[in-house]
Structure 1
Amino acid sequence: MNKPSSSEREALLIALLTRLFTGEITEGQLLRTLRKDLLNMSQTEYATLVGVSRRTLSDIERDTGSPSLAVLNAIFKPFGLKAGLLPRNPALMKKLLAENGKPTL
């Protein structure tokens, strides 16, 4: 499998984050797709890269367990992402995304 170009990586990341923010996919599904489609890595390879056990990575991808913020930040760091605060209500998130694509402070 060929690795996607920089622009393809960015487009995939934006599409997946939009799906995450609108509640279409979970954080675990996001991570699994990014790991497989962008890096073409096995769970074992990726777990070693980010410094967590394969079991921890598997649990996160299956949306089970309760990873700490430090673990979440470690597993999403290779994709330029970090854990943050988002509205739990999908309707509010859609409204935020619709208003210029980003909330204002």
Structure 2
Amino acid sequence: MNKPSPAEREALLISLLTRLFDGTITEGELLRTLRKDLLNMSQTEYASLVGVSRRTLSDIERNVGSPTLAVVNAVFKPFGLKAGLLPRSPTLMKKMLQQ
């Protein structure tokens, strides 16, 4: 698998974040796709990179358990992302994104 260019990485990230914000994918699906499509890494490799157990990473990708904010930030950090507060209302989210 060829490594994506910076422009391809950015386009994929924007596409996936848009899907996350409109509710068509979960945080776990976002992480799994980024890990596999951008880094081409196994769960074991990625877990070692970010300093969590493979089981913790697997749980996050399957949307089970309740990871701490620190763990969520650690697993998304390599992609330039961090946890934040977002509106739960899809309507409010759309208004926010349009501004």
Q: TM-score range by the shorter chain?
A: over 0.9
Q: Aligned partners of 1:90, 1:2: CA distance in 2, in Å?
A: 36
Partner Cα separation in structure 1 for residue 54 and residue 90 of structure 2: 31
* TM-superposed deviation, 1:92: 1.4
Instruction: Give 1:90 deviation, angstroms.
Output: 1.7
Structure 1's consecutive aligned runs of 4 or more residues displaced over 2 angstroms after TM superposition are none
Give 3-state SS (helix, strand or coil) of 1:34's partner: helix
- The corresponding residue for 2:94 is 94
Identity of aligned residues (%): 83
Distance 2:98 2:74 in 1: 30
The structure richer in helix per residue is 2
Offset of residue 94 of structure 1: 1.4
Cα offset, 1:98, TM superposition: 2.0
Gaps of 5+ in 1: 100-105
Using structure 2 for the length normalisation, give the TM-score. 0.97
Question: Aligned residue pairs: how many?
Answer: 99
Give unpaired runs (5+ residues) of structure 2.
none
Output the aligned Cα RMSD: 0.7
TM-score for both structures, normalised by structure 1: 0.92
Structure 2: how far apart are the matches of 1:94 and 1:62?
26
Shift in Å, 1:49: 0.2
Cα deviation for residue 39 of structure 1 reads 0.1
- Report the Cα distance in structure 2 between the residues aligned to 1:8 and 1:44, rounded to whole angstroms: 25
Residues 36-79 of structure 1, C-alpha deviation per residue, up to 9 Å, x if partnerless?
A: 00000000000000000000000000001000110000000000
